[in-house]
Chain A
Amino acid sequence: MTTDALIRTLAQDTRTAPPLGVLLSVAVALPLLAAGVAFLAGMGVRPDLAAALDHASVIVKHAFPVLLMLGGVAASLTLARPEARPEPALAALAAGPVLLAVAVAVEAVTVPLDAWGRAIFVPSLWVCLGFVPLMALPVLFASLAVLRRGASTQPRLSGAVAGLMSGGAAASVYAFYCTQDSPLFYGVWYVAGIAGVTALGAALGGRLLRW
């Protein structure tokens, strides 16, 4: 087939695609809603939620995953455009980790060193390590399926950002169940779960987001 013939063929394909932003929002919201409702219906929302939200450390526990999710959606959409400079969006994505780092630092100087272990190694860490990635996976798969329509020139980075976004989304739901309010706890175990999903996202992105 000559190039002219190919161009003639392409020109006849006039189908238009729905905006990526809309598709990605749905790909995050629907699996998160399904997994979140199932999780909270089964495990329950912490009974003292309203009172707990008086504490700054609890607010950070809820806020930093939400920031990761929102920043991740924005950065994913930027990365999906081949010409866009991703630096501003990636810098905005750091808001969640910075907030978390401040909370962990404050807690670390307040809590005596010999009490750190008790704050971090709580039996429920296994619940956290299990459910955060579990709820993140459907979000990750759905968002990667949408991002395949994009044109990222950095597939691994795009996959990692999608993983960060999915992990943040899952942790933001998990926080409604979790009664471990020490930044030392969620600074280790939420981060571990989210980091695992991020690594998986990078590995999958390197394969699935090439074009």
Chain B
Amino acid sequence: MRPDSDRSLDGLLLAANRGDAQAYAAFLQAVAPIVRGVARARGTGLGADVWEDIVQETLLAIHLKRHTWREDAPVRPWLYAIVRYKVVDAFRARGRRVHVQIDDLAEVIPAPPGEDPTQKGDVERMIARLDPRAARIVRAIGIEGAEVAEVAAAHDMTETAVRVALHRGLKKLAQLRERLIE
């Protein structure tokens, strides 16, 4: 089912915590269909673009809270707790009450992205509200696929400064979400 079935989620996140960006991307790629599956199962009638917004919000939250995972504990209970909290929160912000049980998450049918994955969703609107430099950095890395080193050279910044700006930009996105949607 998962392209990375040879490496468990635990192994991927562990490697990510050691600085392995590829393992981390694989971890998030494996998590996204689970979140999408929950959003779709609970959000009948909301539309694929809203499901995808919920997936993106949840991935952002997982990212910003990833240090709360204790490496000696299994990753799935931690992951499911975050997914449940954020999915319920995302539905509440859209005026819906949903119940998500941890057991449901273990059994959710992972869903691939829709035919037309959202380009102009909430995250895009939030990026537009970042300060211009942070927005350029987030777009360069995400949409143009640039490496941190290239962005640093293009903006005459050190790599550390780019990483700090990227991290702050992502934190800011999560805060903007709170304000924009509610």
Interface residues of A, Cβ cutoff 8 Å to B: 1-17, 19-20, 80-83, 149-151, 153, 210-211
Give the secondary structure class of B's interface. Answer: helix
30 A-B contacts (beta carbon < 8 Å): A1-B119, A1-B121, A5-B142, A5-B143, A6-B59, A7-B32, A7-B59, A8-B142, A8-B145, A9-B138, A9-B141, A10-B24, A12-B21, A12-B148, A12-B166, A13-B166, A14-B19, A14-B24, A80-B68, A81-B70, A81-B78, A83-B73, A83-B81, A149-B67, A150-B68, A151-B65, A151-B82, A210-B178, A211-B61, A211-B64
Instruction: Report the Cα distance A79→B68, complex, angstroms.
Output: 11
Q: Is the CB of B29 within 8 A of A7?
A: yes
- What is the count of residue pairs linking A and B with beta-carbon distances less than 8 angstroms? 112
Give residues 3-43 of B contacting A (CB, 8 Å): 17, 19, 21-22, 24-25, 28-29, 32
Interface residues of B, Cβ cutoff 8 Å to A: 17, 19, 21-22, 24-25, 28-29, 32, 52, 55-56, 59-61, 63-65, 67-68, 70, 73, 77-78, 80-82, 84-85, 89, 113, 117-119, 121, 123-124, 127, 138-139, 141-143, 145, 147-148, 163-164, 166-167, 170, 174, 178
Residues of A within 8 A of B67 (CB): 16-17, 19-20, 149
Q: Is the CB of A13 within 8 A of B163?
A: yes
Nearest B residue to A12 via CB reads B141
Instruction: Report the Cα distance A12→B166, complex, angstroms.
Output: 8
Instruction: Report the Cα distance A12→B63, complex, angstroms.
Output: 11
Residues of B within 8 A of A3 (CB): 32, 52, 55-56, 59, 113, 117-118
Q: Is the CB of B145 within 8 A of A6?
A: no
Additional pairs, 13, CB under 8 Å, beyond known A6-B123, A11-B28, A12-B141: A1-B123, A2-B117, A3-B59, A6-B56, A8-B25, A14-B24, A17-B67, A81-B68, A82-B78, A149-B67, A151-B85, A153-B85, A210-B89
Residues of A within 8 A of B77 (CB): 83
Q: Is the CB of A82 within 8 A of B65?
A: yes
Instruction: Report the Cα distance A119→B139, complex, angstroms.
Output: 68
Q: Is the CB of B80 within 8 A of A10?
A: no
Residues of A within 8 A of B164 (CB): 15
Residues of A within 8 A of B24 (CB): 10-11, 14
